[in-house]
Amino acid sequence: MSDAPSLYTAAWAIARTIPPGRVMTYGQIATLLGTPRAARAVGYAMFFCKDESVPWQRVINAKGEISLGGHVDRPILQKELLLAEGVVFDAAGRIDLKTHLWWPEFVA
């Protein structure tokens, strides 16, 4: 797993580019990193991030949902942070990806 630290660092760098009120999926970030099948690793990168400059809350799953990952408090915090940024959730707890999904300009 020697690639993990560099993958994590690269994933955090991409997450820092996500503007408030917008989200990216784990899979999007994995694709940008050239490892489209590494969405789960991107999820771990966001979970283990201790750097407050990384807006980890802006990274969600492909269904537009917050991934629980077996945790109780963190998904609640993630939703609160996203709501504070103006992200809207539907009654099922999903984010409208047509409205809030974001791609960096260097990709779009």
Query: Which numeric CATH code is attached to 4-100?
Result: 1.10.10.10
- Give this prediction's pTM: 0.90
- Rounded-to-integer distance, Cα 67 and Cα 108, Å: 26
- Whether 4 shows a pLDDT value over 90: the answer reads no
- Rounded-to-integer distance, Cα 2 and Cα 92, Å: 38
Q: What is the pLDDT of residue 1?
A: 43
Mean pLDDT of the chain: 92
Domain ranges of the chain: 4-100
Q: What is the pLDDT of residue 55?
A: 98
Q: Which of 2-11, 23-32, 99-108 has the highest mean pLDDT?
A: 23-32
Q: State pLDDT tens for residues 11-31.
A: 999 999 999 999 999 999 999
Single-letter amino acid, residue 106: F
- Whether 108 shows a pLDDT value over 50: the answer reads no
Beta-bridge partner residues of 89:
95
Q: What is the pLDDT of residue 69?
A: 76
Q: What is the CA radius of gyration of the chain?
A: 13
For range 55-72, the mean pLDDT: 91
